[in-house]
Amino acid sequence: MRIGSGYDVHKLVEGRDLIIGGVTIPYEKGLLGHSDADVLTHAIMDSLLGAAALGDIGKHFPDTDETYKGVSSLVLLQRVKELLDESFYLVENIDATIIAQKPKMAPYIETMRENIARVLGIELNQINIKATTEEGLGFTGEGLGISCNAVCLLTSAADYRYDDRSYVFPEKTGGCAGCSGCSLKNR
């Protein structure tokens, strides 16, 4: 198993759509960036790339490349999924936190989860998204920007066998991860 973490931040400005998790959220400002500046999707992509030791989004989608100007981050996430597939990694789970004073994220979180799960080809119960404010503190608390943290867990497909059209985790000897130190191995 491999763990990755990601972080992204973008400044809030007038004249841009606010897009988070592939959802356009009605708000007076949007996030400034080369692509659609989707902080949630960017943090998730960085966590996935980091867990797979494949660099970061700046390496794969540089802001100096006009190809990515204004592009949907869900399109970029699809490319990250392809990179994971090429390296035989499976997403076990993702947990992300959006940090924004305004607007409220709760009404949009379920759709964000659905968007991310659909693009990555994972189940809805493999992705958790939550939001918090910073109680008026710092740049996010002052409404100057929005940030996001994400962590993920990947498993190598080499750890699985394909049996009757589904993946089966290989049997381990002993208890947890092959350890012989407790009675869990008999359960």
Write down the pLDDT at residue 163: 61
Please enumerate, by residue number, every residue annotated as part of a binding site: 8-10, 34-35, 42, 56-58, 61-65, 100-106, 132-135, 139
Q: How far apart are alpha carbons 174 and 166 in whole angstroms?
A: 24
Instruction: Name the least confident of 8-12, 84-88, 89-93, 157-161.
Output: 157-161
Q: Quote the mean pLDDT of the chain.
A: 88
Q: Which of 10-14, 23-27, 66-70 has the lowest mean pLDDT?
A: 66-70
Report residue 76: phi and psi, to 5°.
-65, -40
Torsion of CA 81, 87, 88, 91, to 10 degrees: -40
Instruction: Could you list the residues known to form a binding site for a divalent metal cation, using ranges.
Output: 8, 10, 42
Q: How far is CA 99 from CA 7, 112, 153, 187, in A?
A: 11, 15, 21, 41
Higher-pLDDT residue of 143 and 120 is: 120
46 Cα distance to chain centroid? 7
3-state secondary structure of 43: helix
Residue 114 confidence (pLDDT):
97
- Cα 86 to chain center, whole Å? 18
Q: Provide the terminal-to-terminal Cα distance of the chain, rounded to the nearest Å.
A: 22
> What's the pLDDT at 175?
44
CATH of 2-158, one of 3.30.1330.50, 3.40.190.10, 3.30.43.10, 3.40.605.10: 3.30.1330.50
- pLDDT band at residue 187 using 50, 70 and 90 as cut-offs: very low
Q: Report how far Cα 102 is from the mean position of its chain's Cα atoms.
A: 21
| 6: CB partners within 8 A, 6+ apart | 42, 43, 44, 45, 46, 47, 48, 49, 50, 148, 149, 150, 151, 152
Q: Give the model confidence (pLDDT) of 45-63 as tens digits.
A: 999 999 999 999 999 998 8
In this structure, the strands spanning 161-163 and 89-99 are unpaired
Q: What is the pLDDT of residue 186?
A: 36
Token duo for residue 47 = 């966590």
Cα–Cα separations (whole angstroms), residue 66 to 31, 35, 42, 61, 62: 18, 9, 18, 10, 9
Q: Where are the domains of the chain?
A: 2-158
For the entire predicted model, the pTM comes to 0.84
Is 42 within 8 Å of 28 (Cβ atoms)?
Answer: no
Confidence of residue 122 (pLDDT cuts 50, 70, 90): very high
